[in-house]
Every structure is written in structure tokens, then in C-alpha cells.
A and B are shown apart, each in its own frame.
Chain A
């Protein structure tokens, strides 16, 4: 059986599945239920300075749904914990005492003053918590008070606060990054320079989930008005994966531990984050959609896949996909594929034809009897037909072997690797040596 034990910057947990700092980790009651359900760790919902903030008293969440009202994206305008600091600290201590094998990380957000950070770090240390996560991510509410993403959007602030924290605590310091920036590498580098032990990402994406077409209020609506919230859930996963990969492969931050967050809903999502370099994964929306029990599927699924593939432990898969993330200019232009339609499984819906004919390259022919066939001389291998086909594996991309003729270009496929950097059309191309 694969070993799922996780050691993330010295923070140990029986599995890599942590609950992210969010509503599910706001109270002792919830966190005990989470640990009973099998979660490997939690990042306690962000603590601030007293007096506690207040939340709106109308809806805090908005959502985007797919078929059968499946929740695809969730948006929240909830702030950090609205309970007194001492209550949270007392509860953190009690839970950690009763679940010593689970990871207990405490999320923090206090004003950008060294004394404020020093003071709260001391209090957290006394709870026996395993580490702290600096919330530089929340895009709503707190940022208007100079905290959250207001810090996370300024690399200099990130570096400064990280440095303060490292100076005032023996606990590992994780910096949580906001995706609401243009290039995730800058804040990650700043955290690294400041001495942070790790980064976690992504926090939520600034969003409006919809507009009520009767009242013309943004959703979620508070008395007819709405404010941007933080978007999370399956919809943001691709954004998160890319940002994790960018940090994992950046020369300046390579090797910096990453706790992956953003739309982790199944074991498969978690495995993908780990393959792109995440040391642990944090989950929120899946738990907020289905309850804490989902972790049992995540554990079982990850174990089964690792066993099937012969991966003994998390180290065996961590970062395995990172070397394969590259820049566009290095992609092999001599890799030529053509779409192939398996007539035995085709159900003749014609979606491939409609999209290719209307929006792409007119590379699919519709023949009598609703037989759809690829026209090699037109097919640029864009993959759109594969993506819209409702039958899995009905349309596949088949590679043309070296020496074969690409009917579209009239060129024979060459065996060697060649990319844009040396392409004759590239004005910047270096002369072949």
C-alpha cells in the first residue's frame, strides 16, 4: 500500500490533504469533525487582532453551477474569523493536544506593523501549532484595510513581513499568495527572499458570480448591492495549476516548498498538484460542497493510483511533471498529429463537424449516412473536435511518424526536434550552428 504520509517543511501529517484556511476551519467543532473524517491537517481560519471583524449579515457566498446544479465555482465575501482571538487560540490548543499527529497550521492576518506580527506569533506558538500561514491573499474586505491581497500584491511588503515573521518565531512560515496579480513569480520570489519556508497558493480569484437580471444587483446580493468576492472551486483549478508550475520551475524559487490550493475536488486533482511540485494540498470548496467525508475518496483514490503505478510514497510523484512544463517557444514543431475518428464508437452527433466547419479549419467531412471523416489536408491538429466530442476516445490525435507526408503542408515529417527559436520565420532565430 502506498505511503501517503506527508512531511511539509517539517509539518507532519498522515496524508497530504489539508483543509484550507476558510469557513470549514473556523471553529474547534468543525476541525474535530474534519480530523475524525480523516483530514491530514488544517490551516485554521485566519486570526486577526481584536476586536474581531464583523461579517455581512446577508449572503456570504455566490455560485456558478453546471449541469444538474453541480457546483463548479464558489465565491465568498466572508472575512477572517469574526470570533475573539483568545477563543480561537484556546480551541487551537485543545484540538492540537487531542490530535497530535495532524498538521495544525494557523493562518494570520494583522496590520503591516512588526509589533503586531511579533505579538500574535508568540500567542500562536503557545498553542502548540505546527506552523503559520501568512494570509496575503484575501481579495475582499481586508484588502480595503491594507491587509490580505493589498499586501500580497506588493512584493516588497511580502518580503518585509515574511522576514519579520521568521525573526519572531521558530515555527515554519508559509506565505499564502494571491492570484490577483500579473505574474505569480514576483510575490513568490519576494516570499523566498524574506526567508519564508514555503508558499501556498492560490488564494481566491476576485470575482462577481453573476448579475440578478430582475434587480440588476451583482451576486451575492446584499440589499441590492454586491461586491467582488473570492472565487474558488473546480473552475479555478487550471489557474492554480499554472501558478504552482510557474513557481516550481522558476530558477529563483525552484525547490521552494509549495502547498497547492485551488479547486482540488478529487484525488486526481491532488495528484496533479503534487506532480507539479506541491508538497501538500489544501481543500476548501469540495468540503463546503459535499462535507468532510470527501477526504476518504481522496485518500483511497490516491492510494489506488499510486499502487497501480508503483509509486511508493509522495516523494515518488512530487514534481514529476515540472520538467515537462516549458515555454511555448520550445515546443517541438516537428510533432505532427492528425485527428482520427473511430467510426465504431462514433454516435454521429456531428458536433465535431459543426465546430470544425464553423469555427476552425473545415477539416471534417460529413458524408452520406452521417459519417464524419477527417480531411488530413486541412487538419491542423487543433484538438477542438476531441474536446467537443461527447464520446471519450472516439476522436484521438494520432502522431504522424517521421517520414510520413503531412498532406496539409506537403512536407515530410522530420524526425528531429525543432522549435520556434530556430524556425526560419522567426526574426530572432539563431543561426544553426
Chain B
């Protein structure tokens, strides 16, 4: 085992936090208590977790519609996230953004939007800021396999390569672009191959193995911090839930997308279960310790939810607030 118990525990706790926050939304969505579109990260936790643990607080990340995990792994306040998903006044975006617009600039969570590929150029701009200021920050741009259909990805990669920007392009290939399986949007599944022709170092990593994600992410972060960027990583993973909301898009149901046997296979490859096995077999943890950790996270998230739900919705009289920043002069 190459990592200390402390590192393993932190990686595990972050993954479990993300999982429980996501799963805590399922019932309220079904009951209509949460109304904004929510894209659950369940099944992909290892990617945000391994990358988040490799970055410093000052580093920047930009995300997409499925970004609760990115926000949490980068240190965003969980109570504020939950409040935002419920569109409350004390949410991280003050109830103006909902699940698809969460932000925590003080933790480097700089922008999350649901326009596919919409933040890739913004992230490239953030990396340009860092290059101009020579502040040694690294930016991570999170997007999915669906974004590989957008021209702005290639424009951004070309520019980042040309200017040697400190940015990691992270493609979370979960095999589905909303309702379309990957074979209906591309002629091959090897997404990482798009970066090489633009002069960008690229690799494919098992996105359900948090230790592997962490190990490779540290190398990529170091590579960019030393001025060798950009870097491209394709993480192979699987969207355990549906595209949006609690509908799991199982074949034979209303949305009729994913085959049951495929879902079952990937559930056996669940990143959290995988990590638990590693912790027990190689990390010196007991099953009891792990179950206690889980319990404490569940209690913590329940507590955060209680606090978040005490916040009211924003008052109607504030409907025009935040249109413009009020300049000082």
C-alpha cells in the first residue's frame, strides 16, 4: 500500500459524503420538495474525489450540470449546497442558481453551468489568468463524453496547447450523453485520443478506482504546475442513476435507455465498494471502522440538511437583486 491510512480515510470519506448528499435528494425530488433539475453524481465519486485531493484550495475548478461531487471534493460548503438545491436564500448561489449553478469562489469552485461544454473555455481563461500572473495555480475543467461533440472543446484545447496553459481537461466518460449511449455519438470510444493531435499529453484512467485517479491526478497537477501543461485525462466510469432526477432510465421503463445487465455489471464495480475492499484488504481498516465512518457521514449530512432547510426561499421583493454588481465609483 503506497498511501497512509489518513489519505485513504480522507479519500473514502469524501466519496461517501458525495454519495450520501446525492442519495439524500432522491426522495425529496420524488416528492416534489426539490424542483430544480438535479443531475446525480452517484457512481462517479472517485473522479471528483481523487482530483479534489490533488489540488490546493487556491486551484480552480469549473464544472457542468453534474457537479455536486466536484463542489464537495474541492471543499465547497455542503450545507450551502443542499440549501441551493432546495433553492433557499442561504444557498451557495442565494437561491438564484439551483443545482446547476453552484459556486464557492473561496474554495476555487469558480463556475458550474449546464450548457454542455459551456465552462471549458472559461476554465481555459482561468488558466490563462494564472499564466499571466504566474501564480502557479492549476485549473481543472470537468466535462462529460457528451461535450466531445462541441467545437469549443477543440478550440480551447488548441489554444491551451499553443500557450502551454496550466489546465487539466477532465473528461468523465460515463457512457451516456443524456439519453444517447456513447456508440450513438462517436465512431469509437477512445476519447483520450482527441488530445494528442493538438499536442496535449493524454491518458485514460479507471475512473472507478479512487487510488488510481488520485495517483494519476497528482502527476497531472504537478506536470501543469511546473509549466508543462495542458493535460488531458479520460476517466472511464458509469452513471449509476439516470440523466436527471430520480428516474434511472432503465430499459423497459418510461425513459427506456440503459440495459439492466449493464447496470448490474457496473454496480459490481462501484467505486465506494471497491475502495472499502482495498481498505480492508490492504489498508488495515476493519469492517466495523468503515461502517462507523459511514454512520458518522450520514449523521453529518442529515444535520447539514436540517440546517439548510431552516433557510427560507428568497423573498419576492429581492427578485431583481444581483443583476449588476454595484461599482464603487
A and B: bona fide binding partners: no
Binding site for B on A (CB under 8 A): none
